[in-house]
Structure 1
Amino acid sequence: MSTARLELPDSLVSTDWLAGHLDDERLVVLDASVVGAETAAGFRWLSGLDAYLIDGHIPGAVFADLLEEFSDSDGPYAFTRPDLFRLAEAARSTGIDDTRTVVVFDSGLGQWASRLWWLLAAGGLDRVAILDGGLAKWKAEGRPLETGFVAPRPAASVTLAERPSWWADRAEVRRVVDGEASASLVCSASRTDFTGETGRRDRRGHIPGSVHVPLTAVVDRETNAFLPDAPDVPAGPDERVIAYCGGGIAAAATAFALRRAGRRDVAVYDGSLDEWSSLPDAPLVSLSA
């Protein structure tokens, strides 16, 4: 087999492309699924590992733990992004190294795959793509599934170099809100979370000046595939866009769609509303009154 690196046709690959490359040893396929559940202690995010093991996954896919391995478990909020050292360790634990190409998918609407893609791409990994339509499209087409655990292949070194402009922090968002910096704020939370009618946080609503671009504006609910047209945001082609949601997950899908459409300056506010709403002096707009 050729030792040349496996090149991707795009940052979004089709089920046909993946099916044709599943046996390629240069490819790492990752299931990044996370599930939400109401428990006696309230709502909790749970690992998608059980569904991966029992319900099945794409043959050869390795499970990527977004809750623990690909997040900072010591961070103040769920899914706090890891530092570059932890990200590299997590990547190597799934079989990623400098010789391999990565395709990520999930069992949801693509938001979890988008989050993992964003983490890896923002960390400097170039050969990484999202499977368009994810597991739902793969299953709808009658393609094979595999159950049980798939052990990652041993990985050599992985070279990462952070792209800091891909992330926004609360200080930058505050400067935008106060008119001291220029950027378009895009909220990817649900409609009712955006308006403040619903929400799991003590303070509800959206950051002032935000436009609403939910996950369903970038993903087709019937096929789970990304929509062909980029979401509409009121910003010039070179203006910075900062996407946020509850915890930086759905925002990653919106940010991915915008970057893929050619926008060069797109960032994810990692803390998102989990952080912003916890700050007593951070303003929120509620339309539910």
Structure 2
Amino acid sequence: MNPLITAAALDAALGSETLWSRAGRRRSSLRVLDVRWKLGGPPGRDEFAKGHIPSAVYVDLDTELAGHGLPTDGRHPLPPIADLQAAARSWGLSDGDAAVVYDDVSGTSAARAWWLLRHAGFDNVRVLDGGLAAWVAAGGALEPGESVVAPGDVHLEYGQLPVLDADAAAAVAAQGVLLDVRAGERFRGEVEPVDPRAGHIPGAVSAPTADTIGVDGRLLPPEALAERFAALGVDAQAKVGVYCGSGVTAAHAALAMEAAGLPIPALYPGSFSAWSNDPARPVAVGAV
């Protein structure tokens, strides 16, 4: 399944929903999830209240799409599955539903929800290509305020997508292709605004997320994405892992790879925030 959906296709899907809930009230089988989030703010919920895609429900990345642990677990570790399931039910998700996730940062935060739901066994989820800007540019309406939805009954269980711990990430760097999708200057160790040490996991390859996004905020066409990944040593047979700063943007790399027709790579949820907080882990600097 194509992991992306266009604004026009989403508008058409929303206009065709006629399903009814077991309680007898009209209920859409398509849930739209607003995952606006930026490191350092402003709060996504405030932006949601100003205007969102009709029927959308706000999803808080920090509290619903991430857990909390030790520094060596990273800044955005995976939430316990029971917590994710409870959150998903509060969004109105039920088994058999479809979901579309969006943000206002070219999918880099919405992809976290996409990846988590896929990892937890909810397969029918897509990312709005180009996000809220694409919706508005296509003439889509926005509605203000909060959204209230009937709770769903979705059942979730982790284990559907490959994940890496620190040891496995090091092994992929040595034996396969470990993509570091942070900005190049962070990879090289020239700057580090968040984590305790600058640099990258030894053996990793610099693959900035920005290189997969076009000037219109949408993912590059599949052929261009495939060419980019091939230049990084990635093909359908390669053993591939991805990481970023805290595990959020790495999900966007997984999205881009599937959009390119490649297998979804193994993701290191702790990413460099976990790695750099462990003094026993070596850190490399420079272009390689």
Range of TM-score over shorter length = 0.7 to 0.9
Describe how 1:111-260 pairs up with structure 2 within 5 A.
111-155=108-152, 157-163=153-159, 165-177=161-173, 179=174, 182-200=175-193, 201-220=195-214, 222-228=215-221, 229-230=224-225, 231-232=228-229, 233-260=232-259
Q: Name the SS of the counterpart of 1:174 in structure 2.
A: helix
Change in 2 beyond 3 A, CA 1:150/1:75: farther
Question: What is the SS of the residue equivalent to 2:63?
Answer: coil
Distance 1:273 1:79, change over 3 A: same
Q: Give the partner amino acid of 2:154.
A: V
Residue of structure 2 equivalent to 1:272: 271
Partner residue, 1:64: 59
Contact 2:3–2:258 under 8 Å retained in 1? no
Q: Aligned to 2:3, which of 5, 11, 18?
A: 11
- Looking at secondary structure, tell me which structure has more helix per residue: 2
Q: Secondary structure at the match of 1:68?
A: helix
- Aligned counterpart, 1:42: none
Deviates more, 1:191-200 or 1:160-169: 160-169
Contact 1:80–1:271, Cα closer than 8 Å, also in 2: yes
Q: Which runs of 5+ in 2 are unaligned?
A: 18-27
The two structures have a TM-score, normalised by structure 2, of: 0.87
Deviation at residue 124 of structure 1 after TM alignment = 0.9
User: Structure 2 counterpart of 1:152, which letter?
Assistant: V
Give the counterpart letter for 1:60 in structure 2.
S
Q: Which has the higher strand share?
A: 1
Classify the secondary structure of the residue corresponding to 2:147. Answer: coil
- Change over 3 Å in CA distance of 1:286–1:137 after alignment to 2: same
Matched residue type, 1:66: L
Which of 86, 99, 104 matches 2:101? 104
Q: Distance in 2 between matches of 1:172 and 1:84?
A: 22
> Whole-Å Cα distance in 2 between the matches of residues 225 and 235 of structure 1?
21
CA RMSD of aligned residues (A): 1.9
Misfit runs of 4+, over 4 Å: none
Shift in Å, 1:109: 2.0
Greater relative CO, 1 or 2 (CA 8 Å, sep 6+) = 2
Contact in 1 for aligned 2:75/2:274 (Cα 8 Å): no
In structure 2, the residue matched to 1:6 is none
Counterpart amino acid of residue 51 in structure 1: E
Which 5+ residue runs of structure 1 have no aligned equivalent? 1-8, 38-44
TM-score by length of 1: 0.86
